[in-house]
Amino acid sequence: MFANRHRRIQWISDLVRSSPSATYTLHRPFGVRQILTGNPNNVQHILKTRFDVYVKGDFSNTNLYDFLGNGIFNIDGENWKFQRQVSSHQFNTRTLRKFTETVVDTELFDRLIPILSKSAQDKTVLDFQDVLQRFAFDNICKISFGYDPNYLLPCFPQAKFACAFDDAAKMSARRFNYPVPNFWKVMKILNFGSERKLKIAVSEVREFAKKIVREKKLELEEKSEIDSVDLLSRFLISGHGDEAFVTDIVISFILAGRDTTSAALTWFFWLLSKNPNVEEEILKEIRGKTKSSVFDEVRDMVYTHASLCESMRLYPPVPVDSKAAESDDILPDGTVVKKGMRVSFVPYAMGRLESLWGKDWNKFRPERWLERGPVSGKWVFVPRDSNTFSVFQAGPRICLGREMAFLQMKKIVAEVVGRFRVVPAAEDGFDPVFTSSLTSRMEGGFPVKIEARTEE
């Protein structure tokens, strides 16, 4: 385990793929056992059938509590049900959807496109992963808080809140990976190493978030007419005014929205640069729409949708997710689970299983998600069930923002690919390394050159 610490996800994936049942029991130090699975039947069992048995648990809650508090991604039971119900109601409103579309359009046309145009003109190298993370961070802060951190600007500022948030996520993730369970607690008591850095980062994140919450409350109290539509305002307006509650839940939403779409798009644009045939098909689809693709048209871009799914199959934003067993159990493949064991499903491994995706699983082939309509002859998207394609989870915890994420990603792809080619800057080839903390990223960034397309 220690020898593979720098390729932990790849090593875990190798273990899962080496098993005939796609399930492996990992023996960790001090007699601790952890089950790793990529078996869709097991995933369904864990996330749906026995949902009440497989919970986030004390291990996960304790590790992430300093950062996420009692936010929706870190809790179980009635508290989770309440937050899920409240959040689901807010996510399903037409008002929030329209607000999100406006935010994305503003960030695209006022910031991202001008920065890419300037880079193409000046022939400069950009870290495209950093650009996408900044784009996503501005977006999710505006959608969640109604606050613009101005992180995606031509000068690429080091915004204090954004940097603290990044540090808090990275340092929190480290707690899961120590060979000795709970070793981080000793480091925390001693205020040493990564725990000292985490303490500083979390303090900055939470104090800033609380400040925004207080200011938003005052703003809403002073207004005669309520026109704020960000998530924080909607929670406060609907009567959920507890400062700790709204702070925790909004920090959780920022974590989800900040990293997942930027991670997915970073790998997508790299795969596109290696597969010009796919890029050409996407370009045809883009040019078949109106000049400035509205969101309703973007929704119908099935080849682009398939390409994004194919990219996330190979490089999922959350490559592994763990639950804790509340009682003894037996998985569908016969694996015995004891109370208290960690049981992890591994989307990164699942996307690499020949039994699920065929012998060409390692090929970036969007067509595996498509078939031709019998009458029109046009591409029709053929989804996989959420137990096989578990990138957005499944069951009661399935991602609330899934459709919103796809709309944003497809809009970004339509506007960027329609105008530019994103080309890896390395002249001798670029072989990126997949790594992760709480979410995945491309180690060392994604240096690119931007080339403006000529009108055809």
CA-CA-CA-CA torsion sign (262, 272, 385, 442): negative
Cβ burial of 190 (10 Å; 0-12, 13-18, 19+) is exposed
Q: How many whole angstroms separate alpha carbon 26 and alpha carbon 152? A: 42
Residue 123 to residues 58, 120, 428: CA-CA distances in angstroms? 51, 5, 18
Partners of residue 43 on adjacent β-strands: none
Q: How many whole angstroms separate alpha carbon 83 and alpha carbon 66? A: 19
155 in a labelled binding site: no
Write out the two tokens for 41. 């039947």
DSSP three-state, residue 392: helix
Q: How many whole angstroms separate alpha carbon 213 and alpha carbon 244? A: 9
Q: How many whole angstroms separate alpha carbon 36 and alpha carbon 389? A: 16
DSSP string covering 163-180: HHHHHHHHHHHHTT--SS
Q: Which residue ranges are tagged as binding site?
A: 399
Q: Which residue ranges are tagged as binding site for heme?
A: 399
